[in-house]
């Protein structure tokens, strides 16, 4: 039996574990998916030693960047983003296992948002500068959209929330929330942007998917904007991860 798993801490209720074990059962795949809840990324070496049947790993918080020095190789997207959420096990010289890191978040995001894009969607505001924002940034660039980070603190490569004016909102017709604001149970919070300047030409995309419609999305919908949550991205990135593991190289 092949084994796949998730690295992170804490893990709690894992989407990945349920998703993949249901997939394996439904498709008659002789494999299992387990959680590896480790308090230190250095414990990865022990996991590899104790689980010789491992064929692939997903990586979640807080290890998407911490795991990189422990890998043998990085895919180009993962290298640019500086974060890994999929590890593929490859056979190297003399049967030695090599670990290659990928980022399927960028694949899931691009495939999810692309059908929503219109010709006037040329610039985007990315709310938040955490790990997920980097995959969004590079995904938008690859789709030909010019992205800018929005943060609570000033920085060389971002603007701050109180710098967002009517003119900014007019130029940046795509707004992507990568912050946890509005996530259950804190459903009455949302990013601090001037929602009064949103129009039907805007696209508001929220990486959150619990609740189905966040306050950020509701406020956009009230102004006639197109809104979308991150559930499809979550499913697409999981599917992309499986494709990466199965692809022959």
Q: Which residues are catalytic?
A: 64
Question: Position of tokens 């004016």?
Answer: 165
Per the DSSP assignment, residues forming a β-bridge with 4 are 33, 56
DSSP states of 4-20: EEEEESS-SS-HHHHHH
Whether the CB-CB separation of 205 and 176 falls below 8 Å is answered with yes
SS3 191: coil
Q: How far apart are CA 191 and CA 170, in angstroms?
A: 18
Give how far Cα 87 sits from Cα of 107, 123, 214, 235, Å: 15, 32, 31, 17
Q: How far apart are CA 200 and CA 154, in angstroms?
A: 30
């Amino acid at each position: 039996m092949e084994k796949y798993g998730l690295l992170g801490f804490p893990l709690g209720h894992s989407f990945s574990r349920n998703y993949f074990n249901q997939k394996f059962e439904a498709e008659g795949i002789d494999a299992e998916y387990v959680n590896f809840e480790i308090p230190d990324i250095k414990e990865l070496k022990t996991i590899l030693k104790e689980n010789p049947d491992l064929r692939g790993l997903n990586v979640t918080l807080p290890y998407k960047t911490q795991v990189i020095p422990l890998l043998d190789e990085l895919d180009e997207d993962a290298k640019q983003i500086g974060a890994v959420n999929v590890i593929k096990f490859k056979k190297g010289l003399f049967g030695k296992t090599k670990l290659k890191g990928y980022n399927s978040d960028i694949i899931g995001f691009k495939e999810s948002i692309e059908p929503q894009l219109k010709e006037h969607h040329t610039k985007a505001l990315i709310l938040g500068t955490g790990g997920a924002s980097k995959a969004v940034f590079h995904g938008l660039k690859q789709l030909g959209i010019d992205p800018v980070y929005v943060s609570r603190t000033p920085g060389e490569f971002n603007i701050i929330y109180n710098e967002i004016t009517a003119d900014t909102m007019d130029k940046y017709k795509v707004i992507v929330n990568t912050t946890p604001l509005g996530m259950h149970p804190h459903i009455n919070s949302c990013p601090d942007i001037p929602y009064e300047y949103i129009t039907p030409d805007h696209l508001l995309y929220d990486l959150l998917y619990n609740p189905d419609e966040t306050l950020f999305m509701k406020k956009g919908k009230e102004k006639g904007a197109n809104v979308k949550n991150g559930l499809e991205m979550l499913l697409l990135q999981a599917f992309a991860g499986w494709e990466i593991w199965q692809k022959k190289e």
